Amino acid sequence: MTEPDLNVAAPVAIAVAPNGGRRTKADHPALPMTPDELAATAASCLEAGASMIHAHVRDLEGGHLLDADAYRAAIAAIRAAVDDRLVIQITSEALGIYSPAEQMEVVRKVRPEAVSLALRELLPDESHEAGFAEFLGWLRREKIMPQIILYTPEEAVKLAGLKARGLVPFEDIPVLYVLGRYTAGQRSSPGDLLPFLAPGMPRFGHWSVGAFGARETACVTAGALLGGHVRVGFENNLFLHDGSQAWDNAQLVAAAAAAVCACGLRPATAEELRQDWQRIV
């Protein structure tokens, strides 16, 4: 009997979130903060199996920053290191510093390939709906791929409701489910994904999973097995599955890639990720 082709399922996109806006080198010496450090991290994570890098930039004191010039410098450094072999996604995260208008303005100035948008930050109340819808329309016209960050199942329902009302001008917008964001000690478990995928919940054509703590690999592997994609990295987790500290972001990417491959799947390339996004939007 012929062995089945275990790679018939869609490849799994592995995104690395290497720095975030909160941690510094005091948390881990290999956490990248400068454009050159981000470029070196991008290259090592590409080799480990990543197809996308989710990048934050910092000010001169190492603090969280939304700044067009800083983003341009980081993007240029990463592109010089990996060319187009990684999708570069910038963050619009406010971190309690920036208003929705400021978050959207930096994206307009940078015009990145992709951007993550936290629904609760860009749409804190109904008065922001029109501006958010107009911004999404601009992203679509400019061919900038948004990924909506959802921290709770209720936010997924809210996003689906916005789409039903015509306020999301994408056929099927990519989302990221964040597991365990507000649990004690920010530790996630695979079961945290189940409420997002429960019967009656909205379905999105391209969804990813991010998690906190040493069970990060287990959480994202559960997502991959259920048809999703994954995000790992020092933004949310510094540890391997055995509780030891990872050497660098590439080791976390490699752990996710190995788990995905052990399940009969394979990591996607950046070009496959781009094609998948084009297919659903």
Per-residue pLDDT tens digits of the chain, which is 281 residues long: 445 454 457 899 999 999 999 999 999 999 999 999 999 999 999 999 999 999 999 999 999 999 999 999 999 999 999 999 999 999 999 999 999 999 999 999 999 999 999 999 999 999 999 999 999 999 999 999 999 999 999 999 999 999 999 999 999 999 999 998 766 677 899 999 999 999 999 999 999 999 999 999 999 999 999 999 999 999 999 999 999 999 999 999 999 999 999 999 999 999 999 999 998 87
Q: Which alpha helices (H) appear in the chain, and where do they start and end?
A: 35-48, 68-82, 100-110, 119-122, 129-141, 153-164, 216-225, 249-262, 270-280
Q: Quick one: which of 14, 101, 27, 112 has its CA closest to 72?
A: 112
| Domains located in the chain, CATH noted | 91-280 (3.20.20.70)
Give CA–CA dist 195/154, Å, rounded: 10
CA 244 to centroid of chain Cα atoms = 24
H or E element that contains 53: strand 52-55
With residues binned 3-state (H G I as helix, E B as strand, rest as coil), the percentages for the chain, rounded to 5, are 40, 15, 40
Q: Is 103 exposed, middle or buried (0-12, 13-18, 19+ CB in 10 A)?
A: buried
Structure tokens at 39: 């470029």
Encode 72-100: b = buried (16+ Cβ within 10 Å), e = exposed: bbbbebbbebbeebbbbbbbbbbeeebeb
Give CA–CA dist 83/113, Å, rounded: 13
Q: pTM above 0.85?
A: yes
